[in-house]
Structure 1
Amino acid sequence: MTTVRIPAGPPVPATVEEALAVQDALRGEVILDEPGPPPGTGRVTGVDVAYDDARDVVAAAAVVLDAATLEPLAEATAVGEVAFPYVPGLLAFREIPAVLAALRALPCDPGLVVCDGYGRAHPRRFGLACHLGVLTGLPVLGVAKNPFTFTHEPPAAPRGSASPLLAEDGEEVGRALRTRAGVKPVFVSAGHRVGLDNACAHTLALTPRYRLPETTRRADRLCREALAAATS
């Protein structure tokens, strides 16, 4: 297997205007016409971050699972200073440096990456999943807890039911997906090198017991532990 080399990433923009320009420049590099790996094959990696805003500290975690069994294969964390202010729509610039560092620290290739956040379901069509995918070249999708600014009809109650997330122009930018029968849906969007249908199929494969993907659940716990250790 060819080893995936995770880059350090470009410098963090100094201003909001520079960040918007970066999004505009990179958005055209997003690949949306690849389906991505089949669910249940290879490796799947969850990434997540936790903050201590009082200390300007961010901790990122990357947790690799076997996609077929959901058994953990590897994990890594990275802790650093928050390098960009909180600006809605530009959260990737706060998270990308630490997430890239955690991915670089993994002892194996991450395979498909699942972000706790958005891909195309973003006001500028370039959320964290798109940004991370373009910088690394990896297939990446986003699974968010809330729908951000997009409208949707409630999906039917059974597990696996979905309804489109629609932008003002009618574009389908993601889907509200019911991962547990009768439980609030999650919000799935393609990021890079993964189609929306396949992103939803992966999300269902990663949620055999809980509303949120196992990748997200494990990465969330690990980054919180890393933050607590770094700030104690």
Structure 2
Amino acid sequence: MQRPPGFAFPATAAEARRLIPELAARVETADRIGEVRVIGGADASSTRFDPTRAVHAAIVALAWPGLAPLGQGGAVTQGGLPYIPGLLGFREVPALVEAWSRLERRPDLVLVDGHGIAHPQGLGIACLLGLVLDVPTIGVAKSILVGQVEGDLPEVPGARAPLVWKGREIGLALRTRRGANPLFVSPGHRVSPATALRWVLATGSGRRLPVPTQAAHEAAGALRRAGG
């Protein structure tokens, strides 16, 4: 993997905050994606008040097209940063990087359960993971971190509306299933907004979450329940 020059995971929240502007400036929101033959899903599971600060992370690899499972990698880390809103990427990405190292097939594109640029400093977990691995990533979040949805969002699968913050569009609210709450899609790294939306729609299966992030969510949850 190719980390940004001089980058090391910060040991404190203050160090993480100092790194954010430089890292956010490196995020690319134009397409730089090769041929996608393997698509990934990434998720990390942790408990806010766990004294061990354990993070259970999983990355799954699926064939594209078809989304047949090709394998998965899992990892558990402890003792990282505490649970601090806005800094969750620094808490969870180290475990995801370890999970990535255990994959036999590395994805060409990763859908991450969490935000991309739809983040107060433009550096959500999908951005940080993409930067650290130098891999195209997309943020697929289940709730809003910053911003508000502008316009109507009909109860129709495929309906979408801009997510806007401080006068700038930072992502899209996307209805993937009738009657379900929307997802919030934003570029992570090396992916444009239009391409991010296209891949989330292409990997849906009638459920709320796209197949890659649903599979990663289940894998991370299983790892956590197993206690390892």
> Taking structure 1 as the reference length, what is the TM-score of the superposition?
0.89
Ranges in structure 1 where 5+ consecutive residues have no aligned partner: none
* Alignment partners' CA distance in 1, 2:224 and 2:163: 33
Shift, 1:219, TM fit? 0.9
Task: Give the match for residue 160 of structure 2.
Answer: 162
Structure 1 counterpart of 2:37, one-letter code:
G
Shift, 1:217, TM fit? 1.2
Structure 1 counterpart of 2:76, one-letter code:
V
CA contact 1:35–1:198 (8 Å) conserved in 2:
no
Correspondence list, 1:81-230, <5 A = 81-153=78-150, 154-168=152-166, 170-230=167-227
* Alignment partners' CA distance in 1, 2:191 and 2:74: 25
Structure 1 counterpart of 2:45, one-letter code:
A
Q: Structure 2 residue aligned with 1:71, among 50, 68, 71?
A: 68
Shift, 1:10, TM fit? 4.6
**Residue-pair matches, total:** 224
Task: Give the match for residue 18 of structure 1.
Answer: 15
Task: Give the match for residue 43 of structure 1.
Answer: 38
CA contact 1:36–1:198 (8 Å) conserved in 2:
no
* Alignment partners' CA distance in 1, 2:227 and 2:17: 31
Structure 1 counterpart of 2:12, one-letter code:
T
* Alignment partners' CA distance in 2, 1:148 and 1:37: 30
What are the superposed Cα offsets for residues 29-81 of structure 1, whole Å, 9 maximum, x if unpaired?
1111226468xx42110111112524432111010111311111111101120
After the TM superposition, which segments of 4 or more aligned residues of structure 1 sit over 4 Å from their partners?
A: none
What are the superposed Cα offsets for residues 144-201 of structure 1, whole Å, 9 maximum, x if unpaired?
0011121103422221111000012x10000001111342210000011111111111
Task: Give the match for residue 30 of structure 2.
Answer: 33
CA contact 1:44–1:66 (8 Å) conserved in 2:
yes
Please give the secondary structure, in 1, of the residue aligned with 2:84.
coil
* Alignment partners' CA distance in 1, 2:210 and 2:13: 32
Q: Structure 2 residue aligned with 1:62, among 44, 59, 63?
A: 59
> Taking structure 2 as the reference length, what is the TM-score of the superposition?
0.91
* Alignment partners' CA distance in 2, 1:166 and 1:34: 21
* Alignment partners' CA distance in 2, 1:228 and 1:200: 32
Cα RMSD for the two superposed structures: 2.0
Structure 2 counterpart of 1:163, one-letter code:
A
Shift, 1:12, TM fit? 3.0
* Alignment partners' CA distance in 1, 2:203 and 2:32: 17
